[in-house]
Amino acid sequence: MKISRRRRLVYDQQQKNLSFRQAHRTINHYVEQQNWVAAYVIGFSILEDRVRTLCIKGRMIQENSSVPPAYKWEPLTKVLNEVRKLGYIDQPTSQKIKQEIDARNSLLHDAMWELDAFTEQTFDRVKELLTKVDRARRAQNAIFNKIGAA
């Protein structure tokens, strides 16, 4: 899978932070509009990025390196398994994320037939997982900064 031009351009942390803020503002707008399809899709995109970042930083910590490994696209379930094995998220959270990956695939592939399947509850599932993954990411950043890999 090719990395989009947009994603390649978001290379420094300041730009990435700005992109996340914009994404969260966009989610808030869609939540206010009760546009659950858009809120869910953007929320899941952030969740996926956070899981992939946990994996990349986990590899850097393991190698005591400040240089990210070469990016290689891997299926999200494989990345998730590595993050769990590295100890950044627990088995129950990993299982919930895996279930949401499956739900996302089903929801998106059937979206034209099942638009009413996107509800506040589907968005809340992603929001809850984002909270858990963000906690793991903050804990990982503390380790990353402590060992000087940053």
Per-residue HEC secondary structure of the chain comes to: CCCCHHHHHCCCHHHHHHHHHHHHHHHHHHHHCCCHHHHHHHHHHHHHHHHHHHHHHHHHHHCCCCCCCCCCCCCHHHHHHHHHHHCCCCHHHHHHHHHHHHHHHHHHHCCCCCHHHCCHHHHHHHHHHHHHHHHHHHHHHHHHHHCCCC
Q: Are 10 and 16 in contact (CB under 8 A)?
A: yes
Tell me what pLDDT residue 11 has: 56
Q: What is this structure's pTM?
A: 0.84
| Model pLDDT, residue 63 | 87
How far apart CA 133 and CA 83 sit, in angstroms, is 10
Measured distance CA(68)–CA(47) in Å, rounded: 20
pLDDT along the chain (150 residues), means of 10: 48 78 94 96 95 92 82 88 95 97 91 86 96 93 76
**What is the pLDDT of the chain when averaged over all its residues?**
87
